């Protein structure tokens, strides 16, 4: 067997979960943190729980609110444009100006 090809094994390292549970084990890594463990995993506990370490749910809710605000603003803008429509016939100059704005 070749010498110095195997990684260094640390005997007593601490693994810390996001729920606060601390495990002691052996590993090639130093102390580290995990997002989910057997004490808080839905499969082991039987309880449904959202694991949101990066704020993904909050980020999605924020995007959803912004899109609804934009839709409401666009709807208000359309209704204001409809109110501007008058019953008077437009002159040729006005028709040409509208055509140049649209293109």
Q: Which residues are annotated as a binding site for Zn(2+)?
A: 17, 19, 37, 40
Q: Pick out the residues of the known binding site.
A: 17, 19, 37, 40
Question: By CB neighbour count within 10 A (0-12 exposed, 13-18 middle, 19+ buried), where does 63 fall?
Answer: exposed
Residue 63: its H or E element: helix 56-84
């Amino acid at each position: 067997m070749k010498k110095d090809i195997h990684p260094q094994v640390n005997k007593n390292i601490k693994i810390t979960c996001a729920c606060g549970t601390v495990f002691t084990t052996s590993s090639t890594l130093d102390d580290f943190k995990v997002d989910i463990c057997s004490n808080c995993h839905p499969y082991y506990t039987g309880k449904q729980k959202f694991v949101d370490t990066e704020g993904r749910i909050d980020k999605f809710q924020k995007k959803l609110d912004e899109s609804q605000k934009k839709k409401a603003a666009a709807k208000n803008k359309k209704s204001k444009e409809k109110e501007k429509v008058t019953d008077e016939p437009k002159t040729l100059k006005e028709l040409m100006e509208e055509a140049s704005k649209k293109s």
